[in-house]
Amino acid sequence: MSRMLALLNATLVCPLGGVSQGGVLVENDRIVATGLIDVPAGAETIDCGGATLAPAIVDLGVFAIDLPAFHAGGIVRVGLMPDQSPVLDDPGIVQRAALIGRPGLWIHPIAAATRGLAGTDLAEMAINRDAGARAVGTGARWIADSGVMRKVLAYAGDLGLSVITHAEDGGVTAGAVATAGETATRMGLPSAPSIGEALAIARDLMLTEETGATLHIRQVTTAAGFELVRAAKRRGVRVTCGITPAHLLLSDIAMTDFRTFAHLSPPLRNESDRQAAVAAVADGTIDVLCSGHDPRGPEEKRLPFADSASGMAGAETLLALGLGLVRDETISLQRLFALLAANPAKVLGVEAGSLGVGAPADLLLLAPEAPWQIAGDRLHAKAGNTPFDGLPVQGKVLRLFKGGTALPVPA
């Protein structure tokens, strides 16, 4: 027997269909009608009271499964990075990773491109794909050997998988915890020039163009990097790129009090690079807005800056910080949900991220103007290491649905 759910009286935001008024009708786990809908007899109804109804977030490139944080942030699908213990380089491990989120989360594993993420021997991509991997990746590091990287791209391209890369030339950035410049010099931190990113991007773009593969650069954070991506897109290279809110909204000045919550990978950049990132979001160069969710407890963060672990808890703040870009008129609300849902789903090759008829009923109901203050000690994540601690924001998740089934949203 079919299960029917009608969400009525909402502001609908679809990355493909734009912003409109109306409702969404769900049968079992799929959307069957949107807009002005006829509610069948016996259907469960929810009056949204004018709140915003959009596709649930697809967070591309998380380092940990953190269900309460994901639900609080409106996330029901994640692309899981291969940097796990053990590394996602074996079909049994990949299959288990894909299943552990049920029933509250879709997990799409990003399998390691090389065995153990060592950057030398190719992993069994075909078998890992069949086990549930939706892409292959280099993890939080780059592949130094260009011959290996070319083989990765060619093999993944033949299998129809995107390659998700970390864009930092390890020969340039080894040992660095900051971007070279005035801030790093004043703080006495090991640093590397930002050109390390552009060098890695340039090589990977050339190899992608030569092999005809599909490349997603998980984070691009420098003006030089954005120019390379723009030029490659104009040439028809199959490349997309992402960024976190931290690299859009913070510069390396956020590190000046030695607060390790601002120790990120790649490191925060200077103000001109940050402004270039905002321009890249506005002009469409950046395709994906991701959380980079990597919660780190006090044993890893309560250390001297250079000795601390990089990473931030980003899942719960992703939506609210993204909505700030809409209020600043950098992007439209429709474009925000392309960055948060439709585009990351496309990179992963999954049918999700829209309110179109036939799409999975992964839905997010939110109050975009609801105010709250980010507080690391009150986040639902495994650790509250956010560089936005204390920042007032707007935008709260009211309801969340995965395949038409309501999920608990932490208060």
- pTM (2 decimals)? 0.96
The angle formed by the CA atoms of residues 310, 393 and 369, to the nearest 5 degrees, is 145
Q: Is the pLDDT confidence value at 384 over 90? A: yes
Taking residues 78-106, report their average pLDDT. Answer: 96
Task: State pLDDT tens for residues 334-349.
Answer: 999 999 999 999 999 9
Grade residue 25 by pLDDT with cuts at 50, 70 and 90.
Answer: very high
Residue 61: inside a domain: yes
Beta bridge partners of 59: 78
Residue 222: inside a domain: yes
Strands 392-402 and 363-373, sheet pairing: antiparallel
d(C-alpha 43, C-alpha 28), whole Å: 11
d(C-alpha 337, C-alpha 169), whole Å: 31
Number of structural domains found in the chain:
1
Grade residue 37 by pLDDT with cuts at 50, 70 and 90.
Answer: very high
Q: How many residues does the chain have?
A: 411
Grade residue 396 by pLDDT with cuts at 50, 70 and 90.
Answer: very high
347 closest CA partner among 127, 79, 100, 142: 79
Residue 356: inside a domain: no
Considering the chain, what is the average pLDDT of its residues?
A: 97
Q: Which DSSP category does 267 fall into? A: P
Output the pLDDT for position 381.
96
d(C-alpha 159, C-alpha 129), whole Å: 8
The one-letter code for the residue type at 200 is A
Strands 52-55 and 4-14, sheet pairing: parallel
Residue 117: inside a domain: yes
d(C-alpha 136, C-alpha 348), whole Å: 10
- Which residues have C-beta within 8 Å of that of residue 314, sequence separation ≥ 6? 244, 245, 246, 290, 291, 292, 293, 294, 386
Output the pLDDT for position 326.
98
Grade residue 114 by pLDDT with cuts at 50, 70 and 90.
Answer: very high
Taking residues 361-387, report their average pLDDT. Answer: 97
Residue 343: inside a domain: yes
Q: Residue 114 is part of a domain; what is its CATH number?
A: 3.20.20.140
Cα–Cα separations (whole angstroms), residue 59 to 99, 225, 228, 335, 372: 17, 22, 24, 15, 22
| Helix/strand/coil for 136 | strand
Residue 16 buriedness (CB in 10 A; 0-12 / 13-18 / 19+): middle
- CA 199 from centre of chain: 23
Which residue range(s) make up the domain with 331?
56-348
Task: State pLDDT tens for residues 68-77.
Answer: 999 999 999 9
Output the pLDDT for position 314.
98
Cα–Cα separations (whole angstroms), residue 64 to 2, 68, 299: 35, 12, 17
Grade residue 2 by pLDDT with cuts at 50, 70 and 90.
Answer: confident
Taking residues 351-363, report their average pLDDT. Answer: 97
Write the DSSP string, 174-238: TT--EETTHHHHHHT--EE-THHHHHHHHHHHHHHHHHT--EEES---SHHHHHHHHHHHHTT--
Instruction: Give the phi and the psi of residue 283 in degrees, each rounded to 5.
Output: -95, 0
Contact predicate 394/368, CB 8 Å = yes
Residue 134: inside a domain: yes
Contact predicate 125/136, CB 8 Å = yes
Output the pLDDT for position 409.
96
Residue 44: inside a domain: no
Q: Is the pLDDT confidence value at 1 over 80? A: no
Output the pLDDT for position 50.
96
First-residue to last-residue Cα distance in the chain:
33
- Which residues have C-beta within 8 Å of that of residue 138, sequence separation ≥ 6? 113, 114, 117, 119, 152, 163, 164, 165, 166
Virtual torsion, Cα 45, 49, 51, 52, nearest 10 deg: 40
Output the pLDDT for position 302.
96
Residue 290: inside a domain: yes
Contact predicate 52/340, CB 8 Å = no
Output the pLDDT for position 367.
98
Task: State pLDDT tens for residues 169-213.
Answer: 999 999 999 999 999 999 999 999 999 999 999 999 999 999 999
Residue 41 buriedness (CB in 10 A; 0-12 / 13-18 / 19+): exposed
- CA 20 from centre of chain: 26
Output the pLDDT for position 411.
82
The one-letter code for the residue type at 138 is T
Task: State pLDDT tens for residues 313-334.
Answer: 999 999 999 999 999 999 999 9
